Amino acid sequence: MDHVDRRATHDHELWESVAAAARNRVGQRQGRMIAEHGLSGDVQYHWSMDDGTIVWSRGGRDFLHGRITVIGSVDHVQRTWLWSWANDSLPSAALGDIADVRRHGEEHAFPLLVWPSVRADPTPVAQARIVAADVLAAEGLWFEPGDELDLHFAIHELRPA
């Protein structure tokens, strides 16, 4: 199946249970990532889509490096969520294995993971990013807020600087 048809039968209860289980797993990994790597307080960071990296620093000194996968973005003007796999403007280094998330949606008939863009309501956006992080076995999530566009990243391969 190349895509999930918008008219296809969707098992909403199954989707909700999958999203809840993913939230538990990703939440635990997120908590560990923040606690074990000191990612709270006066932390600065810099990410690059060109090479798919993120670096955290404190007091001007780098202390942690990682790899990012752009999961998707929320356009505040259009009020839409756009999956990174559907965004032709992103460099391949920033996409990581995001195509696995779409394949997972196709295999399990989860339309939210397959439709390129959806209305950016809080629940589907949260479910999309959490299930994506779970499918990608990410160490955690990162969020870059913007005036017109928010970016959502999965974090992988954390290592001391």
Q: What percent of the chain has pLDDT over 70?
A: 94
Instruction: Give the end-to-end CA distance of the chain in Å, rounded to a whole number.
Output: 43
Q: What is the pLDDT of residue 8?
A: 53
Q: What is the pLDDT of residue 3?
A: 46
> Across the strands, what pairs with 39?
none
Distance between CA atoms of residues 58 and 43, nearest Å:
5
Average pLDDT of adjacent 10-residue blocks, the chain of 161 residues: 49 92 97 95 95 96 98 97 97 97 95 96 96 98 96 97 92
Q: What is the pLDDT of residue 118?
A: 95
Q: What is the pLDDT of residue 9?
A: 62
Average pLDDT of every residue of the chain: 93
CB-count burial class (<10 Å; 0-12, 13-18, 19+) for 152: buried
Q: What is the pLDDT of residue 83?
A: 98
Q: What is the pLDDT of residue 12?
A: 86
Q: What is the pLDDT of residue 1?
A: 38
Q: Determine how many CB atoms are found less than 10 A away from the CB of residue 45.
A: 15
Cα–Cα distances in angstroms (integers) from residue 95 to residues 57, 58, 98, in the given order: 24, 27, 6
